[in-house]
Structure 1
């Protein structure tokens, strides 16, 4: 799918933070895990919620997801700052679907002495549907709830595609 070995920024001298950006099912976690194998620390909201609260709609009510997501993000943001102080490389396995959130994290990283790369995994909606269908057969932190056609449509409509933000676009 992706080969992170072809990315020249892996030799950056500053602590590097890779911001994963894309719609659910675009391959962010797969890409982030490849960076993890290269020594990056991976931060994931989905896995943080899963580890601390369990399964969506089973161990906690569906209505709590928004609050749990915010709490997990704040915890991971603090962890990010700590890792940057330690001069560690980090990959943030979030969707970064809002431009405002991307800008916030870029500033946070720069203010902490790090550098960033924004990786946008651009995938055609038909391919997303195929991937999400396969993913729905798993039951783990990254597939903890089914992405319906209605939910995917809302994600596609709400996604703010990066443009002129220093993004590296990988089409898959």
Structure 2
């Protein structure tokens, strides 16, 4: 999965999970291990918790590939370099990757994130302010020529 916060990665990944895929989510790993951002742990701890969660989930990804499971990796993958690293990792262990880019216009993202901000779950645990969303949008390296499948949000 690849997309900015609010693009629908988790919603799509949950559908795949219901079809039998194993789903790996950094947000849910942090939530289950450490709780809610800014409530159960200080903001300063988030980056190290995120790194720990990713190390654990990379190991789980390899294990699942080795036993022949289909896996959906519910991360943002906003950097091309990170996407390439995971493609190589998956290939190294005999898996086949598919890069699904969920593309949503900024105004729609803002609406979705407003709705998400009132929920109390793992995917709303890290609040995305307007300022953070702008940074995410400016820093997101849109896949182009990476073998991606693009799914655009229907704005109707």
Q: What TM-score range do you get, normalising by the shorter chain?
A: over 0.9
Question: Displacement, 1:146?
Answer: 2.2
Q: 1:100 aligned to 2:81?
A: yes
Query: C-alpha offsets along residues 47-102 of structure 1, whole Å, 9 cap, x if unaligned?
Result: 00000001101111101100000000000000000001100000000000000000
Q: 1:119 aligned to 2:100?
A: yes
Q: Distance in 2 between matches of 1:63 and 1:161?
A: 28
Question: Displacement, 1:145?
Answer: 2.9
TM score, norm. by length of structure 1: 0.88
Deviates more, 1:126-135 or 1:143-152: 143-152
> Equivalences for 1:20-99 in 2 at 5 Å?
20-99=1-80
Q: Distance in 2 between matches of 1:47 and 1:27?
A: 15
SS across alignment from 1:126: helix
TM score, norm. by length of structure 2: 0.97
SS across alignment from 1:21: coil
Question: Displacement, 1:130?
Answer: 0.6
| Moved segments of 4+, more than 6 Å | none
How many residues in Structure 1 have an aligned counterpart in Structure 2?
A: 153
Tell me, which stretches of 5 or more residues in structure 1 are unaligned? 1-19
Q: Distance in 1 between matches of 2:123 and 2:78?
A: 17
Query: C-alpha offsets along residues 15-49 of structure 1, whole Å, 9 cap, x if unaligned?
Result: xxxxx000000000000000001100000000000
